[in-house]
Amino acid sequence: MSEPNETANAIRWRIHETHPDLVAPLREALSQVIDPEIGLSVIQLGLIREVEVTEDEAVKMRMILTTPFCPYGPAMVETTRRKAQEALGKPVAIELGMEPWDFSMMEDPSALDWGLYS
């Protein structure tokens, strides 16, 4: 498995600059949150669009879903929030972003090379 900075499309959040010590534990925890329909993590899919620590030391995250009406969306958002809170030891709030997801947002778009999309 490659390091996060070796991926094709690594996402950088605000905490990369402000709290770099939180990046690795957060990525590790969120790598366990799997989209049940696609079989890849929210990290691999690039669904976590922003992470920042607020002035009161809480964590604010912006997350998107692969489809607007994802049937697993509410469960994935809650699991993401819980895993992040456990990993960081801080309260976490997730805002659901409205930008549409596409394959180019994945950290490694070749991970979806299942022969389904030609």
The pLDDT tens digits for 56-111 are 999 999 999 999 888 999 999 999 999 999 999 999 999 999 999 998 899 877 66
Quick check: is 90 in a domain? yes
The amino acid that residue 3 corresponds to is E
Quick check: is 118 in a domain? no
Quick check: is 11 in a domain? yes
Quick check: is 64 in a domain? yes
Task: Give the count of domains, the chain.
Answer: 1
Contact 93, 58 (CB under 8 A): yes
**Strands of 92-96's sheet in order across:** 48-53, 59-63, 92-96
Give the global pTM: 0.86
User: Domain range spanning residue 34?
Assistant: 4-108
Contact 1, 7 (CB under 8 A): no
CATH label of the domain that carries residue 31: 3.30.300.130
Quick check: is 114 in a domain? no
